[in-house]
């Protein structure tokens, strides 16, 4: 008997069919500023609904547990509480110029998959100094006058599950997503919450200008940077590297339980989420040879995002860095972007 070629048996093919026939209710198609304003109001409300439950806020009870002075910057390890049963460890790299005693702009550095916050602070998995695809970004920012904070997201770095909790090799993000879902939470939302509490911590520091806070990350870090910046208006400027691409174009290897927002494709996609950052400045980085988020697909989603900024009348606040590289941070344009947008007090939303 001949097999019916229209039948579907695998999740990947089911996904492709669903994406092909999906009609998002709030995909942006406006032509005027009023269209943009009306869309933004509606999508922002639905975005908040999709994020779901946030934990109850608790006092930070922050403490510095390690401090080391380098020739060009100061590195501190800090810990603060984000909810009743969770604490967040983070590296804070800050300028060390003896004559510099004022308030600095600050940047949240969001790590990608790997060993957590350490690489952003210039530390490799073996504990030695080194550089990976994230280019020790927190150190570079500190050396250029910023207070840079790099927290561990859930399942990474010091928040990684110990080996005895893992009887079989599994993706920790997927397991954590299933676990927190049992209590009514979404893992991405909990990471966003930890990011919000990271901003609270920055605002508690005497060396930070609260009106000049940026956010940047690559890969999973790009996910967190985009969603956190969309959710929290206190972020004045952002950079999303190696992430902006239509959800349906991502392979199974290009996503995980830390990057999932249930119900998003019924309303829009990543361009719409990034569109909530508008009218604030946003830089998108696309590596020409990025095999995880191929440039040909990423550029199509960027064009949709560009339409949002243009319709809002501020397309000069959206930047594209299409660089000769792969799945990695492209350092110089990030420094230039934050120098451009975090040097003066932000006056609009």
pLDDT of amino acid 349: 44
By DSSP bridging, strand 104-110 and strand 86-95 are unpaired
Q: Measuring CA to CA, which residue among 77, 123, 70, 121 is closest to residue 97?
A: 70
pLDDT higher than threshold 70 for residue 167: no
User: 3-state secondary structure string, 176-229?
Assistant: HHHHHHCCCCCHHHHHHHHHHHHHHHHHHCCCEEEEEEEEEEECHHHHHHHHHH
Average pLDDT over residues 54-74: 96
Nearest in space to 292 (alpha carbons), one of 328, 333, 331: 328
- In terms of Cα–Cα distance, which of 196, 198, 181 is closest to 261? 181
- Mean pLDDT taken over the chain: 92
Separation in Å, CA 307 to CA 265, 286, 313: 19, 18, 10
Summarised one tens digit per residue, pLDDT across range 296-329 is 999 999 999 999 999 999 999 999 999 999 999 9
Whole-angstrom Cα distance, residue 234 to residue 85? 25
Q: Per-residue confidence at 162, pLDDT binned at 50, 70, 90?
A: confident
- Sheet strands (E) in the chain: 63-69, 73-83, 86-95, 104-110, 147-151, 208-218, 237-241, 282-287, 318-323
Mean pLDDT of 164-188: 81
Architecture of domain 55-257+281-294+319-340: 3-Layer(aba) Sandwich (3.40)
Q: How confident is the model at residue 347 (pLDDT cuts 50, 70, 90)?
A: very low
Q: In which band, very low, low, confident or very high, does the pLDDT at 169 lie, cut at 50, 70 and 90?
A: low
Yes or no: say if 72 and 96 are a contact pair by the CB < 8 Å rule: yes
What is the Rg, in whole angstroms, of the alpha carbon atoms belonging to the chain? 20
Burial of residue 269 (number of CB atoms within 10 Å: 0-12, 13-18, 19+): buried
Q: Mean per-residue pLDDT for 258-269?
A: 92
Helices 33-51/220-231 angle, 10° precision: 110
Question: What are the tens digits of pLDDT across the range 79-114?
Answer: 999 999 999 999 999 998 655 568 999 999 999 998
How much of the chain exceeds pLDDT 90, in percent? 77
- Do residues 262 and 217 make contact, with C-beta atoms less than 8 angstroms apart? no
Global pTM reads: 0.93
Tell whether the model's pLDDT for residue 197 goes beyond 80: yes
């Amino acid at each position: 008997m001949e097999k019916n070629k229209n039948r579907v048996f695998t999740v990947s093919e089911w996904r492709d069919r669903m994406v092909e026939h999906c009609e998002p209710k709030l995909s942006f198609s406006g032509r005027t500023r009023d269209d943009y304003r009306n869309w933004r109001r509606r999508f922002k409300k639905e975005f908040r609904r999709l994020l779901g439950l946030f934990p109850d806020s608790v006092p930070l009870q922050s403490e510095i547990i390690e401090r080391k002075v380098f020739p060009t910057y100061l590195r501190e390890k800090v810990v603060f509480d984000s909810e009743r049963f969770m604490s967040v460890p983070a590296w804070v790299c800050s300028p060390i110029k003896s004559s510099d005693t004022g308030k600095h702009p600050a940047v949240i550095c969001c790590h990608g998959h790997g060993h957590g916050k350490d690489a952003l602070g210039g530390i490799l998995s073996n504990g030695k100094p080194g550089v990976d695809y994230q280019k020790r970004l927190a150190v570079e920012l500190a050396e250029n006058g910023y207070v840079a904070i790099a927290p561990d997201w859930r399942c990474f770095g010091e928040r990684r599950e110990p080996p005895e909790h893992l009887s079989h090799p599994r993706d920790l993000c997927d397991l954590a997503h299933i676990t927190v879902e049992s209590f009514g939470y979404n893992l991405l939302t909990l990471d966003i919450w930890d990011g919000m509490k990271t901003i609270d911590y920055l605002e508690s520091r005497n060396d930070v200008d609260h009106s000049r806070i940026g956010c940047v990350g690559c890969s999973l870090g790009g996910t967190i940077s985009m969603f956190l910046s969309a959710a929290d208006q206190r972020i004045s400027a952002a950079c999303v590297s190696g992430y902006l691409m239509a959800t349906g174009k991502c392979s199974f290897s290009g996503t995980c339980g830390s990057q999932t927002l249930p119900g998003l494709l019924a309303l829009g996609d990543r361009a719409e989420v990034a569109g909530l950052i508008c009218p604030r400045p946003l830089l998108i980085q696309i590596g020409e040879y990025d095999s995880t988020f191929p440039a040909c697909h990423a550029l199509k989603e960027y064009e949709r995002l560009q339409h949002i900024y243009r319709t809002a009348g501020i397309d000069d606040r959206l930047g594209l860095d299409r660089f000769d590289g792969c799945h990695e941070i492209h350092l110089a344009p990030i420094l230039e972007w934050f120098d451009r947008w975090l040097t003066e007090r932000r006056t609009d939303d």
